[in-house]
Chain A
């Protein structure tokens, strides 16, 4: 299998802008090519588009708009982890030797149809994500004697970290009291516990080891990939206070990278709602079950940005098709020592966790210098 790495990225600020999906995709594609003049468009052999938007034929459309004539074009939709699924697809094409360089571009509009999984009728009339998130939160709080105030720290921390991210939707800091007093969405969920659907775009170029040295002096290698889908329907989850798919995906990715969880220096994880951060940390093995709020509090109190340095989904916003790519870009920037005021010291190994539909599907990537 060919070694595969990330050669370049482009990203634009997340917003509530009303813009056509094709133009949105191009925003980060153009940012990527302008900032990486060594990448010759003629050598892009694959264009992969990650989005939940209903527009058709977006791979060829982006290729045409960018002046690329690739061998392969595809669109990838897997709800909220479309982005990392696209990266894994690009990796697979390159690792197999079919192509040497792929452009992956993800984008979403604020009004994405990917927020609701119409098929999942087990949820009855409660199909909006706030309902599964409320049940996760209630289950997690009851099982581990965690309070609303404890969970509010996730939002406080990630909004604080997002303030150092020029691309984030949020530019405000909040106290635990602010979170608790924010609009009550359900008995177990407040507005500031929720990531917000928004408009955003992120692009990345993956390349084989063979051509990498010609296009960048700072490649970041994908050393581990783990994916697991346990079901499509939320109610098929075996546990409502842990993430089975995340646990399996994380174990697979770490094994492939020949790493242990203690080797991970920085993490971007899928905090769609406050409770998702402790659940994901525990499922990946950063802490025993029910104990990770202690770790999160300590990280917050010491201004340690190890978990979700860009502000996670809660602080940065959640443009579904772009999210996994934006998470990956953050870990790449951390590994390249280019994360400005968010930079963590001595980063050699990073991890991306991106999931869909109440953790029914998870992707975990391990990245290294």
Chain B
């Protein structure tokens, strides 16, 4: 299954190059460093808030994953910079990815 097929089922997998072992984000067919093939790893990972702002009642946070790449995720709880979080919900809606953290 592709990254997006997993994501649409609520699973966030880490894309890694089978050759150079680097995390490749966004997930792609090829590694952007060595053009190796990408495999998806189901693993625990560290996610940390590095910046945030708020629109209406929703916070949107820049979240750094495995000190490697960043996504923008929603949270209903007051965020703090440096806070370690986990992805509580993710998927694809109307062709857009969505991520929630707690």
Contact = CB atoms under 8 A, between A and B. Distances in A.
Nearest to B90: A124
Interface string A110-152: 0000000010011111110011001101110000000000000
Nearest to A128: B55
Interface in A155-192: 185-189
Contact of B97 (A121, A130, A189): A121
A69 to B, nearest CB: 42
A366 B95 CA distance: 41
A291 to B, nearest CB: 21
B93 interface: yes
Contacts of B60: 124, 126, 131, 134-135
A138 B99 CA distance: 21
Contact of B72 (A118, A123, A185): A123
A240 interface: yes
Given A186-B55, A235-B72, A125 B97 contact: yes
B99 to A, nearest CB: 5
Of residues A122, A124, A139, A240, which shows the largest number of chain B Cβ atoms within 10 Å of its Cβ?
Answer: A124
B13 interface: no
A233 interface: yes
B58 to A, nearest CB: 9
A125 B93 contact: yes
B30 interface: no
Given A122-B25, A235-B62, A188 B72 contact: no
Contacts of B51: 135, 138-139, 240
A185 B54 CA distance: 9
Given A135-B53, A186-B54, A186-B55, A235 B69 contact: yes
B98 A124 contact: yes
A130 B56 CA distance: 13
Interface string B32-57: 00000000000000000001111100
B54 A131 contact: no
Contact of B70 (A122, A188, A189): A122
A118 B26 contact: no
Interface residues of A, number: 24
B16 interface: no
A233 B26 contact: yes
B96 A124 contact: yes
Given A138-B51, A240-B62, A122 B26 contact: yes
B50 to A, nearest CB: 8
Interface in A210-246: 233, 235-236, 240
B98 A125 contact: yes
Given A118-B95, A240-B62, A124 B52 contact: no
Contact of B99 (A124, A130, A137, A188): A124
Given A131-B72, A235-B72, A125 B96 contact: yes
Interface string B58-102: 001010000001111110000000000000000001011111000
Of residues B55, B69, B93, B98, which shows the largest number of chain A Cβ atoms within 10 Å of its Cβ?
Answer: B55
Nearest to B56: A186
Given A233-B26, A235-B62, A240-B62, A122 B53 contact: no
Contacts of A124: 60, 71-74, 96-99
A28 B26 CA distance: 40
A118 B95 CA distance: 9
B33 to A, nearest CB: 14
Interface of A: 118, 121-127, 130-131, 134-135, 137-139, 185-189, 233, 235-236, 240
23 contacts: A118-B95, A121-B97, A122-B26, A122-B70, A123-B72, A124-B60, A124-B97, A125-B97, A125-B98, A134-B53, A134-B55, A134-B60, A135-B60, A138-B53, A139-B51, A185-B55, A186-B55, A187-B54, A187-B55, A188-B53, A235-B62, A235-B69, A240-B51
Interface of B: 25-26, 51-55, 60, 62, 69-74, 93, 95-99
